[in-house]
Amino acid sequence: MKSLFKNNTTAGITQKLAVGTSISIVGLIVLGTTTPANAQVGITSLDAAYQRGTSSSYDTTVANPCSTGNYSSGCDSNINMQFGDGTANDLKLSGFNVGTQSYSLIQLADTVAFRRVNGQGATGERQLVFFEYNTNNKIKSSYTNTMAEAMLSTIINRGIDNAFSNDNSTASNNIERIDYIVSSGLAVPNANLGDIGFLILERGGNDPFKIAAITSLDANGKPASFGLLKSVATTTWGKIGPNVQTAVMRREENQTAFRPSHLVGNQAISGVYVSISSLGITPGQKIYGYALFPNDITASNDLINLSDFPTTTSGGSGEGGLDLMAGGGIFMLNSLSTISGTLYEDTNANGDFDTNEPKLPKDITVKLLDNNNNVIATTTTDSNGNYTFTGVANGNYKIQVDTSDTDIPTGYTLKTANDLVVNVSGSPITDQNFGFTIPPSNPIVLLIKRITAINQIALTNIIDGVDNGNPESPNYVPAPKDADDNHPNWVSNFLR
């Protein structure tokens, strides 16, 4: 939450970081009694490092409206914007810590989607992004041209200003829901639901929001249902830094590049860890990512179609003021691991998955069993035949394909042993593949000798054209052979 055009600051120590230097900054807020498994918690440090980015520049005009205090030539005045200024540009995230527990990013979401309702705040696809800056036209971070590119990234010194504000203020938009979608879903052993989840980052750590797990997708890959709607209060944020000063820019649907509108002074990067278990997910339930909502809606609102969401949500009030930063992905406790593989058609029947062999379709069930043959997690294949179990503790396991699954193509038979034994000991387990074969088609038989040996009569030109020299020809017959089939007796040693 902020007053527009004012340089707000958050108390804290500004970190000076060399290129490639990792940061682990002790949080200003440390939650002592709440555990990640039971609730959303403030993180206590970030694992991130500044890296050199990409330099670029372009000529544009200052946005209108704008802050003339930040851009003295006024709104719509000409300006040259330079990105990737300096040598330490992009703050890249790899993980975070909650007390003594360390978490690492294992994958970004497959897609991020902004669900919009046109209103007084904006119409169409308005893009509104902030970048860390050095001066009002020299931008520290690398350029990105869309909110989706900015948010689906490990570069965290970029983000969205007042993500859910739609009250026609300078930093308003028409976004009502932000979906981070994992299209193949997440399958996590029941015992580890508290040890895998999502990291939400905000500039300033002073805005509430709401979050829910996506529990199913429709045929178009959009959320079809949600889990419990959970509230995250402003007191939950872990304000761990570093501090960033940011330039807010906007781009309308018919414009090609961002235009600067105003500057925001130093604010601390703040974070909340949201475990899967804290979203009310039951053991064995599969989720497909998460969705973020403004703070002024409840579970009784139309979460899917957004038909009754308020269209006067204020960024200044905090209800829509979430200054969301990049980093939307899946994070896992470092002591856990993953198991993955592919279901494929073993066309050459060699028992190995070759890169040119076809994959089986999506939605085939694969199970993970513990050492006592109890099913502890279930997942399904994606459209490329791949499956993954996430958040697996060290130990011995078995992997099974549900061979009764009707998504397995008709006639396919599993040839790989259906109890693949794996031992997890801290590193990802990959290439746990299952090969299937299909029934052979009717063979084409080339007859070489027929009744000649019975009738003792030489027959000429009956099967002329037997290929004598090209092993790739379907008519090729290895020696000994008789190209004309005109001998009444078998050639010596012909029968093998």
User: pLDDT, tens digit, for every residue of 279-330?
Assistant: 998 877 889 999 999 999 999 999 999 999 999 898 877 899 999 999 889 9
User: Residue 132: beta bridge partners?
Assistant: 246
Tell the residue number behind the tokens 């500039």, with chain if given: 203
Contacts of 442 (CB under 8 A, 6+ apart): none
The domain 337-437 belongs to what CATH superfamily? Immunoglobulins (2.60.40.10)
Number of CB atoms found within 10 A of residue 148's CB: 14
pLDDT of residue 192: 85
pLDDT in tens, 283-292: 778 899 999 9
Contact of 205 with 145, CB cutoff 8 Å: no
Give the chain's length: 496
Sketch the domain layout of the chain as residue ranges. 22-333, 337-437, 443-496
Task: Determine the residue type at 209.
Answer: F
Contact of 157 with 287, CB cutoff 8 Å: no
Mean pLDDT of 455-468: 52
pLDDT of residue 1: 43
pLDDT in tens, 223-267: 999 999 999 999 999 999 999 999 999 999 999 999 999 999 999
H helix count then E strand count, the chain: 2, 27
Contacts of 358 (CB under 8 A, 6+ apart): 344, 345, 347
pLDDT in tens, 75-93: 999 999 999 999 999 999 9
User: Phi/psi at 148 (nearest 5 deg)?
Assistant: -60, -45
Contacts of 327 (CB under 8 A, 6+ apart): 93, 105, 153, 154, 156, 199, 201
Ranges 35-44, 179-188, 285-294, 370-379: which has the least confidence? 35-44
Instruction: Report percent pLDDT > 90 for the chain.
Output: 68
Q: Which helix (H) or strand (E) holds 261?
A: strand 259-275
pLDDT of residue 475: 56
Contact of 84 with 51, CB cutoff 8 Å: no
257: Cα separation from own chain's centroid: 26
pLDDT level of residue 4 (50, 70, 90 thresholds): very low
Do you find a cis peptide bond into 488, omega within 30 degrees of 0? no
CA gap 279, 286 in Å, rounded: 12
Q: Where do runs of H (alpha helix) occur along 141-272?
A: 147-151
